[in-house]
A and B are shown apart, each in its own frame.
Chain A
Amino acid sequence: QKEVEQNSGPLSVPEGAIASLNCTYSDRVSQSFFWYRQYSGKSPELIMSIYSNGDKEDGRFTAQLNKASQYVSLLIRDSQPSDSATYLCAVSGNAGGTSYGKLTFGQGTILTVHP
């Protein structure tokens, strides 16, 4: 069974702080990794995608991937109250496999940024 695990939180950080969100996955052949943000009552919105080991930065967001440890994280710098949402980690399988292109989601981490 392919699983994606996230600490469900809630994670509460003060405005301006760094929020750190973590995710582990069980399928070692997973190739693509995504972070989505979901506001209450809304559908997920793509924040970051990462495919190779290391860091990927986009504005205030940094995704980190370590395939050896089967671990992916998202750092949000200078957190704002508008970042308060549920963050979903999603993993996709390798090309040619039955799970290629299909996303397996973690249960989500609720982030609250308080003023």
Chain B
Amino acid sequence: GAVVSQHPSWVICKSGTSVKIECRSLDFQATTMFWYRQFPKQSLMLMATSNEGSKATYEQGVEKDKFLINHASLTLSTLTVTSAHPEDSSFYICSARTGNEPQHFGDGTRLSIL
């Protein structure tokens, strides 16, 4: 149980492109979803917290206009990196939880901006 699917797993695109990443909880309803970013040899850094039907809460220093988060249902959240640039290249990971249960992570999306 507690399976989180993330898609796509790998994206390469040109600078200025917008990229959408999907995160789905497959076998449970996620009251909260989280988006993280991880640079090489560093730990996970929380970008934003997303609750179904409400606006995402962004961490300090994360641009909400650049990283658009939509949590339209209890099983789906999307992260759109708008006008991506090389410095946005990173490993983006979502997680989902229900109630007070621990967070379960998706497989991550490796984003490379040329």
Residues facing A in B32-59 (CB within 8 A) are 32, 34, 42-46, 49
Nearest CB of B to A41, in Å? 8
Q: Mark B81-106, 1 if CB is under 8 A from A, else 0.
A: 00000000000010001001011111
**Closest chain A residue to B31 by CB distance?**
A101
The count of A-to-B residue pairs whose CB atoms sit within 8 angstroms is 43
Stretch from A11-19, A65-73, A102-110 contacting the other chain: A102-110
Residue of A with least CB distance to B106: A43
Q: Is the CB of A101 within 8 A of B106?
A: no
Q: A103 CA to B102 CA in the complex, in Å?
A: 10
Q: Is A29 an interface residue (CB 8 A)?
A: no
Contact between B107 and A42, CB atoms less than 8 A apart: yes
Neighbour of A44 across the interface among B6, B32, B105, CB < 8 A: B105
Q: Are A105 and B32 in contact (CB under 8 A)?
A: no
Contact pattern, A 11-52, Cβ under 8 Å of B = 1, otherwise 0: 000000000000000000000101010000111111001000
* Contact indicator A43/B107 (Cβ below 8 Å): yes
Cβ-defined contact, B105 with A45, below 8 A: yes
Chain A interface, number of residues (Cβ within 8 angstroms): 19
Chain B residues with Cβ below 8 Å from A42 are 107-108
Is A88 at the interface (CB under 8 A from chain B)? Answer: yes
| Distance, CA A42 to CA B45, complexed state (A) | 15
| Bound Cα distance A67, B36 (Å) | 27
Q: What's the nearest-Cβ distance from chain A to residue B68, in Å? A: 20
Q: How far is the CA of A41 from the CA of B45 in the complex (A)?
A: 16
Between-chain CB contacts (< 8 Å), 16 pairs: A32-B102, A34-B102, A36-B105, A41-B110, A44-B105, A46-B105, A101-B32, A101-B97, A102-B34, A103-B34, A103-B103, A104-B46, A105-B44, A106-B43, A107-B42, A107-B43
Seed contacts A46-B104, A103-B34, A105-B44; 10 additional CB < 8 Å A-B pairs: A32-B102, A36-B105, A42-B107, A43-B93, A43-B105, A43-B107, A46-B102, A46-B105, A102-B49, A107-B42
